[in-house]
C-alpha cells in the first residue's frame, strides 16, 4: 500500500492511497479541482485513475473539490448514509451516477476493504476510515474533539495512522485573533485534538501494531510542526518511551506533499 498526504490543514485536506494491484482512492478532496490535479501529477497519478473519493464530513476544507472533480472525471463519491443530504446542500448536485452510499458495515472498493467509524466533531456526521489491503491497514482520524476506546482500538491495529494534532493549547488561548467562542469550540469535545491530546493517544498505541503516525490538520495560527513534534515526543519520553525505536512521527503539510509511505507485508 502506498500513501501520500496531498494536503492537510484548515485550507484543505486530501490523502491519496494506492494498492499493490493499482486501486487508487482519495480520502477527502478539500482542494480545488486544479490543485488536486497538480498535486496528483507530482506523484505521477492521472485524475482519471482515481477510483473513488471517500468523504469524512461536509466541511469545505474536506469537500471543496469533489463536485468539479466528479463532474469532469466521473469519479465515484462515497459518503456515509447519514451525510448525503448535508453534502449535497453544501457542495451542489453531484451527478447521481457518481453518488455511492455506505453505512456502518465494512464495504469494498476493488481490492480494498474499508470500515468507517464515527468521530466526535461539530459536523453532521464525521467519520474516520480504516483501509485494508489484505493484512495491511491504514487508519485516518482527523477532525475530532476527543478519542474514544473504539477509535483507539482502530488505531492500535493499524500499520500506519494519520491522526489530527491541531493546536497548542497555550498558543490558541493567547491568540488575540480568535474570539472566545471559536477558541471554546476548537477545545471542546466536538472540536479538534490538541498536541497534548494527540500525545496521549499515541502513547496508547505504543507496543501495538502502528509503525508510524502522520500528524495532520495542524493549525497554521495555533501550532507548528516543531511545536507539535516537540510536545508529543516530550510527553512520550516523560512516560518512559523510547520514541526513536518505538514509533515514527512525521507531520503532514498544508502547502506540500508528504513523504510517500509504503506499508509492506
Report domain extents, the chain: 2-262
Residue 263 is predicted with a pLDDT of 92
Tens of each residue's pLDDT in the chain, 265 residues: 999 999 999 999 999 999 999 999 999 999 999 999 999 999 999 999 999 999 999 999 999 999 999 999 999 999 999 999 999 999 999 999 999 999 999 999 999 999 999 999 989 999 999 999 999 999 999 999 999 999 999 999 999 999 999 999 999 999 999 999 999 999 998 999 999 999 999 999 998 888 899 999 999 999 999 999 999 999 999 999 888 888 999 999 999 999 999 998 7
The pTM assigned to this predicted structure is 0.96
Instruction: Give residue 245's pLDDT.
Output: 83
pLDDT at 81: 96
CA distance 7 to 18: 16
Query: What is the per-residue pLDDT for 238?
Result: 93
SS3 of residue 9 by DSSP = coil
Supply the pLDDT for residue 58.
95
What pLDDT score was predicted for residue 208?
86
- What pLDDT was estimated at residue 244? 80
The answer to whether the beta carbons of residues 222 and 168 sit under 8 Å apart is yes
* The predicted structure's pLDDT at residue 89: 93
Spell 47-84 as b/e; 16+ CB within 10 A means b.
Answer: beebbbbbbbbbbebbbbbbbbbbeebebbbbbbeebb
The fourth-level CATH superfamily of domain 2-262 is Ribonuclease Z/Hydroxyacylglutathione hydrolase-like (3.60.15.10)
- Contact criterion met (CB below 8 Å) for 113 and 132: yes
DSSP state letter for 167: B
Amino acid at each position: 500500500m502506498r500513501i501520500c498526504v496531498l494536503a492537510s490543514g484548515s485550507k484543505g485536506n486530501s490523502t491519496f492511497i494506492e494498492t499493490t494491484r493499482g486501486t487508487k482512492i482519495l480520502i477527502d478532496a478539500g482542494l480545488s479541482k486544479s490543485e488536486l490535479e497538480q498535486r496528483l501529477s507530482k506523484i505521477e497519478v492521472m485524475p482519471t485513475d482515481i477510483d473513488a473519493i471517500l468523504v469524512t464530513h461536509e466541511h469545505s476544507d474536506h469537500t471543496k473539490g469533489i463536485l468539479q472533480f466528479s463532474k469532469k472525471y466521473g469519479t465515484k463519491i462515497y459518503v456515509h448514509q447519514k451525510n448525503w443530504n448535508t453534502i449535497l446542500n453544501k457542495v451542489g448536485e453531484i451527478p447521481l451516477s457518481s453518488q455511492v452510499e455506505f453505512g456502518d458495515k465494512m464495504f469494498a472498493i476493488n481490492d480494498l476493504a474499508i470500515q468507517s467509524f464515527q468521530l466526535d466533531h461539530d459536523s453532521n456526521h464525521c467519520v474516520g476510515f480504516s483501509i485494508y489491503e489484505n493484512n495491511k491497514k491504514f487508519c485516518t482520524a482527523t477532525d475530532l474533539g476527543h478519542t474514544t476506546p473504539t477509535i483507539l482500538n482502530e488505531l492500535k491495529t493499524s500499520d500506519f495512522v494519520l491522526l489530527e494534532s491541531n493546536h497548542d493549547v497555550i498558543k490558541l488561548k493567547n491568540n488575540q485573533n480568535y474570539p472566545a467562542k471559536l477558541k471554546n469550540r476548537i477545545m471542546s469535545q466536538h472540536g479538534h485534538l490538541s498536541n497534548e491530546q494527540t500525545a496521549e493517544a499515541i502513547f496508547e498505541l505504543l507496543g501495538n501494531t502502528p509503525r508510524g503516525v502522520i500528524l495532520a490538520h495542524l493549525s497554521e495560527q495555533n501550532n507548528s510542526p516543531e511545536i507539535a513534534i516537540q510536545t508529543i515526543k516530550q510527553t512520550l519520553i516523560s512516560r518512559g518511551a523510547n520514541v526513536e525505536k518505538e514509533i515514527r512521527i512525521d507531520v503532514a503539510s498544508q502547502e506540500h506533499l508528504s513523504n510517500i509511505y509504503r506499508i509492506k507485508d
